[in-house]
Amino acid sequence: MENFKVRCVKEIENSSTKGRIYEIKDGILTLDSRLISGKFNNVDEVNAIHTSRFELVEEKMFCKSDLKTGMRVETRDGSVYVILLGTENDGDVLVNKSWMSLTDYDDSLILISSYYHNLDIAKVYKQPYLPVDLFNIEKCGALLWERIIPLQYTVSEAQAELSKLKGKEVQIIKE
């Protein structure tokens, strides 16, 4: 079964968030921390079952070379940085209360050091519309890209989530 991503384009009954991207992995759709089973093979099957409407997301990886001065990036830990390219002494950097060099990141925006995965770039935003907001770090433009970070469950957590979803106790067995 193929994995794919969908974006909610019409939210109905607060069951999903409009604009948010969801991943269908092994046919299972997870909406805002709730598992929706059904063995979905394509976006049409998702729309046939669900009340909200979705569109297929073509996966485009955002690369380091796509970054431009003034863009904002958000790391996995929620910190927001401004991108400054071509600074005189330090080259390409991310700036907040401190700075980090973009040379510390690989092309897929993952921090090369294996110790600080919370500093991997998880979201990229356009620079704010008004030039006056260039150094207001918390002011972000439109979201351009978001790294899909899969939900991780232990077996007992998955069993509890499925039990809540089904309204009765669920046991997970080996295949």
Does residue 31 carry a pLDDT above 80?
Answer: no
Average pLDDT, rounded, for the chain: 81
Domain end call among 40, 59, 78: 59
Q: Please tell me whether residues 115 and 46 are part of one structural domain.
A: no
Q: Is residue 5 helix, strand or coil?
A: strand
Q: Please tell me whether residues 86 and 122 are part of one structural domain.
A: yes
Q: In whole angstroms, give the CA distance from residue 41 to residue 68.
A: 37
The H or E element that residue 48 is part of is helix 43-49
DSSP per-residue string spanning 11-37: --TTSS-TT-EEEEETTEEEETTEEE-
Q: Please tell me whether residues 78 and 135 are part of one structural domain.
A: yes
Average pLDDT rounded to a whole number, residues 69-93: 89
Q: Please tell me whether residues 110 and 39 are part of one structural domain.
A: no
How many independent structural domains does the chain possess?
A: 2
Look at residue 95 in the predicted model and tell me its pLDDT.
86
Which residue's structure tokens are 């996995």?
A: 76
Q: In whole angstroms, give the CA distance from residue 19 to residue 22.
A: 10
Q: For residue 94, with 0-12 CB atoms within 10 Å meaning exposed, 13-18 middle and 19 or more buried, which class applies?
A: buried
Domain interval for residue 76:
64-146
Q: Please tell me whether residues 11 and 81 are part of one structural domain.
A: no
Q: In whole angstroms, give the CA distance from residue 46 to residue 32.
A: 15
Q: Is residue 128 helix, strand or coil?
A: coil
Q: Express each pLDDT in 100-158 by its tens digit.
A: 899 999 988 989 876 777 889 999 988 877 665 556 666 778 888 888 776 777 888 88
pLDDT tier for residue 85 given thresholds of 50, 70 and 90 = very high
Domain end call among 14, 34, 59: 59
